[in-house]
Amino acid sequence: MTYAKKRKALKGVSSNTDLRIMMTFRSTVIQAIIPSLIPMKDTNGKEERITLAHGHGGIASHKLIREAFLSAFSSPELDPLDDAAIIRVPYEKIAFSTDSFVVQPIFFPGGDIGKLAVAGTINDMAVMGAVPLVISVAFIIEEGFLISDLVKIIKSMAKEAHWTGTRIATGDTKVVPKGAADGIFINTTGMGAVRTDSNLSGANAKPGQAVLLSGPAGDHGAAIVCARNDLGISGDVVSDCRPLSDLVHILLNVFRTKISVMRDPTRGGVATTLNEIARSSNVGIEIDETTVPIRDTTRAVCEILGFDPLYLANEGAILIFIDDECVEEALEVCRTHPAAKEAAKIGEVRDDLDGKVVLKTATGGRRIMDMLAGEMLPRIC
């Protein structure tokens, strides 16, 4: 897609933000400026590990900040290394979101904790109709963590941020003694400019609207399960982890107020997220099990472990509540995007279900899908 078309796809935001969108989609050029970070070595040529000194604010801390973080995350806000970033936000409304990431394992098929952290916060802003502007990143690192692994995570974060035109504006690093954490935890907080031509909220679903899902349910959860266990499943089980801000804003440009809700079904999966929306909007939702896209590999994981794929997390799919007459066109738009080629209508909003989410099964029966009870799969994000 040309820049002119992409710029048009985001013309609902202010002109200043629109100029920044030019940077958002220059992914080839932007990724080229990401430095080729080299894992730091000690005097004997061995890979260094994080020590408590890296968190004490002295020489080791400054070396880590400049050689690992600043070289990858450089931005006008971050480069001065002041105690706070100064951000100009001449917009009517700002989306503000924060999230913490403790996924285990930290590297998994399709991503890592760094990519997950940046993509997760960008997606949380995007589904509120916001163009991501800046994020903060904070690390809690366990003593003994390999610096080479930290560098991989940093590069992954930088790549996702640059690709979406999001600047890393400020950050923090703390080191805790060995055993006080499990490798690395990351917190990200983001700010984005909210479009003026849409009004998205989990409280806005309306009876008669269709429910779309942009990609197969449960891909991220299935990938994490397989990364932790050898289940003997043939075929790749890969997380769908990725930013979706470009897809969101292309859809909003076309349909604007015809879309009332967007939400990424992360923890608790599609089923729990639909329940959250039903409760906030005081509506019922009926889902057709036969139309929900689910990969064969994800089904295999669920059959082995007794999971329901509708309760497994996604990190690169969105639920879209849209006026019914727009469904076919919306699916056509979605399917032009590499992350939404299997987009499908999976259900509809109803006013006769007493606020419940009901699954119409493949056998023709119906059952209530409630929120996830307990912890089916801990530390998936």
Q: How confident is the model at residue 232 (pLDDT cuts 50, 70, 90)?
A: confident
Cα–Cα dist 338/123, whole Å: 16
The β-bridge partners of 235 are none
Find out whether 337 and 246 touch, Cβ atoms under 8 Å: yes
Report the candidate in 299, 277, 305, 313 with the shortest Cα–Cα distance to residue 362: 299
In whole angstroms, give the CA distance from residue 322 to residue 348.
Answer: 9
Question: Residue 104 is which amino acid?
Answer: Q
Cβ of 211: how many Cβ atoms within 10 Å? 26
- Asked whether residue 2 carries a pLDDT value surpassing 50, the answer given is no
- Provide the 3-class DSSP secondary structure of residue 43: coil
Q: Taking residues 200-226, what's their average pLDDT? A: 97
- Arithmetic mean of pLDDT, 198-213: 97
Residue 121 predicted with pLDDT over 60: yes
Contact 296, 238 (CB under 8 A): no
Question: Does the global pTM surpass 0.85?
Answer: yes
Question: Residues 191-206: what's their mean pLDDT?
Answer: 96
Domain residue spans of the chain: 3-194, 210-368
How confident is the model at residue 10, as a pLDDT?
A: 44
Which amino acid appears at position 51 of this protein? Answer: T
Q: Which CATH class is domain 210-368?
A: alpha beta
Q: Measure the CA–CA gap between 300 and 216, rounded to whole angstroms.
A: 14
- Domain 3-194 belongs in CATH node 3.30.1330.10: yes
